Chains A and B, each alone.
Chain A
Amino acid sequence: MSHSADEAVGRSETVVLTAPPSPDEIDRNLFMDFLTRKVMKGWMEHEPRPPEIPWTPLRKPLAECRLALVSSAGVALIGDPPFDQEGERRNPWWGDPSYRLIPRGTRTEDVRLYHLHIDTSFGERDLNCVLPLDRAEELAASGELGSVAPTHYSFMGYLLRPEEFLRTSVAAMIERMRAESVDLALLAPV
């Protein structure tokens, strides 16, 4: 990757978008097939516009922040129960709402990915493609980031009805993040 990309983001002329997005912006992602694009646009159009966006200002500079990573790629430690794919096969409108803990220092060979809607081979060849634990450690070691949290998280992102997921899994993740003094959570949906 070229250094110019690094510099481009560091410069103060980074453009911050704040206007409501239009469904046509979906077309900017070149990697979806026609049907997926249609579905995503449909979902955008039918999404009730959230009345208020929650906001917790960062209280510290990044160099003092503790970071936790969250992936929707269905990552689970090999010793832990897999995400439930049989359940989804029986009812295609359903997705497993549970979550898994991924400890700091977890390596690619310690996990499997369980997700029927993505190519799981990338994350299984290199966990950092979906949950960049090693990369976060490097940024902490260089002083750009304060610290890496003891625990990171994964869930399986195909959840047409997310209520149970929010009520159980996300509530539990939040509790643990608070206990571990996490300042910042980075979510990287797949």
Chain B
Amino acid sequence: MAARAIEAAGISTLTLSVLPAYTRAVGAPRVAGLNYPFSRPLGNPGDADGQRAILRAALRSLEAIDRPGGAVQLPFVWPESPAQARGKLKELPPIGKLLQQKPWLLLKFIRGETGD
């Protein structure tokens, strides 16, 4: 993944992740985890204070991460319920439509295989 390659090339990286377990599993060098919805990892449009706080907290966590794969969980709490927070897709992604039409392919998809 991109963070690993950038780090291997001599540039330190930090990944701010709303799915830190997955990001850590794929071997990102430094992870700042955040329990926020997808599509807006820095928070809501127009919430400059919130966005700044997250960016600041993520960058400050660098001090604490002193070994490869180290991860910190940032303390921010999303104020809405998950149902309220769910973003809206304009339509189902192409893979979603395909898996609806051919549900037997879901197992392949879950296993990380591709269909072509």
Asked if A9 and B61 sit within 8 Å, CB to CB, the answer is yes
Inter-chain CA distance A187–B65, complex, in Å, is 16
A116's closest neighbor in chain B, by CB?
B93
A23's closest neighbor in chain B, by CB?
B21
Inter-chain CA distance A165–B4, complex, in Å, is 13
Residues in chain B near residue A22, CB distance under 8 A: 21
Residues in chain B near residue A116, CB distance under 8 A: 89, 91, 93-94
**Set A32, A47, A166: member contacting B2, Cβ < 8 A:** A166
Inter-chain CA distance A34–B23, complex, in Å, is 19
The number of inter-chain residue pairs (CB within 8 angstroms) is 290
Chain B interface residue count, Cβ-Cβ cutoff 8 angstroms: 91
Asked if A187 and B15 sit within 8 Å, CB to CB, the answer is yes
Contact A129-B110, Cβ < 8 Å, known A54-B8, A58-B62, A135-B55? no
A26's closest neighbor in chain B, by CB?
B21
Tell me the residues in window 7-31 of chain A with beta carbons closer than 8 Å to chain B beta carbons: 8-10, 12, 14-18, 20-23, 25-26, 28-31
Inter-chain CA distance A18–B20, complex, in Å, is 12
Inter-chain CA distance A138–B68, complex, in Å, is 29
* Nearest CB in chain A: distance from B49 CB, A: 5
**Set A52, A119, A178: member contacting B87, Cβ < 8 A:** A119
Contact A29-B52, Cβ < 8 Å, known A18-B71, A54-B29, A54-B68? no
- Enumerate chain B interface residues (CB-CB to A < 8 A): 1-29, 35-76, 78, 82, 85-89, 91, 93-95, 97-98, 109-112, 114-116
Closest 5 CB pairs of A and B: A119-B87, A50-B27, A42-B110, A126-B45, A25-B21
